[in-house]
Structure 1
Amino acid sequence: MELEYPDDLKYLDTHEYIRLDGEIATIGITAFAIDQLGDIVYLELPEQGESVKAGEKFGTIESVKAVEDLNAPISGTVIERNEGLIESPEMVPDDPYGEGWFLKLRVDNPDEELTETLSADEYRAQVEGED
């Protein structure tokens, strides 16, 4: 199966993605991560109003295979979390880059913090080398 990595996103080597629209960042996990995890059974995300810090854990995702930490690609304040996924975590794989987002953040310093992220091509090269 060919996994997708949209070019308009930035990626972390820990398999989170970020879509930046001005000072609003949408965060989720990549198709590769979902493929590796298998069936997702639980998702823990911060509440609206909480702060997250780039490079630090902001939640966990649990599958039948493993429990993995979710790492923030950027610092900011949670303005929305995907309540539908918390209630039905098995829906994450259906549309990871669309309806499968986890958090929307109001970003502190969008230009300064994205230096550690990978382009779609860089991320693809990294994960396809892991197979």
Structure 2
Amino acid sequence: MEFPEEYRYTEEHEWVLVEDQLVTVGISDFAQDALGDVVFVELPEVGTLLEAGKPFGVVESVKAVSDVYAPVSGEVIEVNEELPDAPETINTSPYEDGWMIKIKISDAAELDDLMDADAYQAFIEEEA
């Protein structure tokens, strides 16, 4: 399983790539593996205001339907338009092509609540 060092992670298994006041969000390799084959993705519209810890979308797999949670508060400025037509991209490329949304952060201090790769791996091991 892959956990890129430059990413941050949530306890709900989202990953976050921080670039200044912009974050890209998706679900981790661990999450996509646990879900199995992803068959449907529901994402918010550009301009949607998100609150950290609240659901922003849905991922449906052959095993389960799961909410996806906003890791930070802010405005959705871009949505991966490819995912609704190719949801399996989350399985094949969770950290690159399988990204879900980009958020303009409204409170950068919320980034301090996210785990680094080592802490996330330890979290997963504790959960198992």
Could you list the runs of 4 or more consecutive aligned residues of structure 1 that deviate by over 4 angstroms after TM superposition?
none
Give the AA of the match of 1:38: G
Q: Tell me what 1:98 maps to.
A: 96
Q: Tell me what 2:60 maps to.
A: 62
State the distance in 2 between where 1:15 and 1:52 align: 17
Q: Tell me what 1:23 maps to.
A: 21
Q: Tell me what 2:32 maps to.
A: 34
Structure 2 residue 105 is matched with structure 1 residue 129:
no
State the distance in 2 between where 1:128 and 1:20 align: 25
Q: Tell me what 2:44 maps to.
A: 46
Report Cα offsets for 1:26-57 as digits up to 9, x if no partner.
00000000000001011011001111111111
Structure 2 residue 128 is matched with structure 1 residue 118:
no
SS at match of 1:85: coil
Report Cα offsets for 1:69-103 as digits up to 9, x if no partner.
10110011111100101111011111111111000
CA RMSD of aligned residues (A): 0.9
Give the AA of the match of 2:91: P
State the distance in 2 between where 1:126 and 1:74 align: 19
SS at match of 2:25: strand
**Residue-pair matches, total:** 128
| TM-fit CA distance, 1:22 | 0.4
| TM-fit CA distance, 1:130 | 3.0
State the distance in 1 between where 2:85 and 2:51 align: 25
Instruction: Specify every segment of 5 or more residues in structure 2 that has no aligned partner in the other structure, as ranges.
Output: none
> Scaled by the length of structure 1, what TM-score is found?
0.94
| TM-fit CA distance, 1:10 | 0.7
Identical aligned residues as a percent: 44
